[in-house]
Amino acid sequence: MNSSFLRQPELPSDAFLRALRARLPHEAVERAVMPSGVEVIGVSVARGKVFAVWDEWRKRHGETGWWPYVTLQSPDDLARSRRQEDVDEVVERWVAEVACQDHDARAASVVLSSFRWSMDCAAGDEEDQEGWRDDYDPDRLAPQLAPARAEPLPGVSRWGTGDRDSFWGQSQRWINFVPVRGGYEVPAVLPHLYGTCNWFGYDGRVLTPADDAALLRRWHEQWGAELFLAQGPYLELVVDRPPLDPRDAARATSELQGYCSDTVQRPQHDGDTWLRSTVWSLWWD
């Protein structure tokens, strides 16, 4: 694809492939070209080693230009699953929109849309509406949360590393690499890679890849959140600087609820627990 918006990596694909094979000589490495022309390179890794390998290569993103994410799909599997029709134009449009948009404003619009939908559903029930205001307004939610923590809670990956793996029995994970400016651009280059494409139940409130990218970029800038795993309806972020004080935790809680209400169902509890940890696991039901 010839696009002024598509990231050109520091290491061309052949050079990056050689570097990956040199670093992981005993692992299966694959390369595939998506219908859009975007190349994806992947390496199969034992799930117990996934975080160490992912962390090493995300720290090298500045020198390679290839962002790693964990999944069950090999590059070939991913290429076969991509939609064929008009895919060049779709990816071109999403990448251009993500590169140019005001991501903070777009993220705020996603949260506001979710709040308005919730209020409409509770129309006529003042008690329910007050409850939604408590959940979505950080000024109202923060006083209900626990005091600031000195250190983040230890995050536990539910699906990437297998520490709480109850239904993905495979011993291997794929770490796929995409040429993007950061993990927040992955949904634009690989549209509908994960869960929000299944969000059809809210009167047309279907999120787009540009919405995904806006929230991911905002959380990256605010709390150091990085795309770690993307698989079907599942998403995991590694969070380097999670919100530790009540105000920031309340803000994160309202934004996560607006994006993925299937995960944030108890805002007070969630704002005091996993949202102050180093791993955020989201899923769309």
- Cα separation values, 254 from 17, 132, 221, 237, 260, Å: 41, 10, 17, 17, 10
Q: Can you tell me the mean pLDDT for 109-128?
A: 84
| pLDDT recorded at residue 129 | 86
Q: Are 234 and 283 in contact (CB under 8 A)?
A: yes
| pLDDT recorded at residue 205 | 56
The long-range contacts involving 105-108, CB below 8 angstroms and separated by at least 24 positions, are 106/210, 106/211, 106/214, 107/211, 107/214, 107/215, 107/217, 107/218, 107/255
CA dihedral 76, 82, 83, 87 (to 10 degrees): -100
pTM: predicted TM-score of the whole model, two decimal places: 0.91
In a domain, 4, yes or no: no
Q: Are 159 and 229 in contact (CB under 8 A)?
A: yes
Pick the residue with more confidence: 41 or 116? 41
Q: Which of 31-40, 49-58, 66-75, 242-251 has the lowest mean pLDDT?
A: 31-40
In a domain, 234, yes or no: yes
What is the residue-averaged pLDDT of the chain?
89
Q: How many domains does the chain have?
A: 1
The tens digit of pLDDT for each residue in 130-166 reads 887 888 899 999 999 999 999 999 998 988 986 555 5
Q: Can you tell me the mean pLDDT for 259-283?
A: 95
Residue 200 to residue 214: CA distance in whole angstroms: 19
Dig out the tokens for 260 from the structure. 């993925």
Tokens 């994806």, residue located: 40
Dig out the tokens for 180 from the structure. 């993007």
| pLDDT recorded at residue 243 | 98
Pick the residue with more confidence: 124 or 184? 184
With a pLDDT cut of 70, the percent of the chain lying above it is 89
| pLDDT recorded at residue 46 | 93
| pLDDT recorded at residue 82 | 66
| pLDDT recorded at residue 132 | 77
Residue 69 to residue 183: CA distance in whole angstroms: 8
Residue 122 to residue 129: CA distance in whole angstroms: 6
In a domain, 99, yes or no: yes
| pLDDT recorded at residue 94 | 86
In a domain, 84, yes or no: yes
Residue 125 to residue 26: CA distance in whole angstroms: 61
Domain containing 144: what range?
13-283
What DSSP line would sit under 213-258, residue for residue?
Answer: HHHHHHHHHHH-EEEEEEEBTEEEEEESS---SHHHHHHHHHHHHH
In a domain, 1, yes or no: no
In a domain, 256, yes or no: yes
In a domain, 224, yes or no: yes
